[in-house]
Structure 1
């Protein structure tokens, strides 16, 4: 089956394209957001094909996976077909709703010509989906293996643009948490974070690494810290669990379901998170034990086979084949 989707979220797409289909990824000369093409820092199989808009018009498409509202118009212009009417379509929502959450209406609400897919049950609950047929397919992870060494008594944090995103990503909580465990913050546009927080550079180091190197570096840290207040379920959290890191996380959004008892500590009290981080730094054996439990839990709930099976079941339902 030929499936058209845009390269929007590298980690999610990396898992999705491991399936048995052919995946058509738009590419434009500028490789901007609407034509990024194949990932450069993720390992994608040969079943992923880069196609220009001109070539897409002449290519059979069995299913469109929309991820942003304006992609509907791109499909109409590039393929000459309407998603959900002329070609089967699903809309994949990666994010928790922004703005006035209790009344946040999804852009695809009250659509009967496509299926709306959420990546967490939390997201489905908090979006107003209207009458649109809606389901949840939880994340799946390409298993990076149990690499945990925990040799560095530091906490790993993965977040993009922590200065700009501020309270959303729990950036304001980092000074207190850095007092319990020195931080290594990985992600895009993390430079200047220590100065922004008024922390000594040794207590808050930053780096932006490709995925393979990131996994190795995460595994060297004693614990994974997830101070995010409002987000969908971060794939970096699940990747850290797969690697074998114990988790210290705010008990918000879907994290309460993803991190079971024994795999780390989740709480809405920052002081409890600081206490847990301090414990793991001081007790490497406890960190390794809880990290092993985190890995088992992640493999059980967020394994790649379950993810691809769920998607194939939905694809059959939507396309009738």
Structure 2
């Protein structure tokens, strides 16, 4: 649901020397800075009758501003009885093994039926916490382990540990191309300059580091183990695509599957129709926020990824014969 927003004003004297987004924050305090920035970048705000899409543009008092945009109305999430695969739970934390296809947070196009809705049904007290206690996210089509805090102390402790890179998150993935060795990708990630739903490696992005090692090589694919130092949106998918090894089943970043000579019909169909990015959060470890005990959890690969690896292995063996 959205509301149409139409506003106009003159840049005041106190905005002298400020950037466009900073001036707008003074002029329109009823809207968040992030919302105003989105409107600038989407071309929904005019300065002196011209569309300006750079938040850092300098402004001068007396300039006219006109906003014509849509404001998304965010409804309060409601508790919903959705099954959760809870690996561990105590008074402070919940560790969940999330299936592929489950959205973590409500948003545009996914107003309910999310992990957050399920958590509120499981534990109503989470409503009082930021993000209902969710410490870190997984993409909709990424499966695996997540930790959720159940109280304010646990949330603060875990989010601080996450920023300090003391929460260990490891993944397994199947990527396109044969990788000869493991390595590290250190490249800043930010919003794609033209595709607003995509992330990309851009000079103005936030620092991001992904470590990877080879588990198994196939004729034209590689099974990897990856560890995150940072936690940027779509980080593994963007970093692997950046080094030309996009994930199987990831049309957003991986591209179309490449034809594989002498492959079976089964493998060709599997690669063409794999329903999601082949990415699973297999390991999670952190220090318990109350007992300070080292907690460690593992999740086995789901059936779809197991089938993919098995079929790629059979293809390799058949073509070596």
Tell me the TM-score normalised to structure 2 length: 0.26
Larger radius of gyration: 2
Q: Which has the larger share of helix?
A: 1
Tell me the TM-score normalised to structure 1 length: 0.26
Q: Which has the larger share of strand?
A: 2
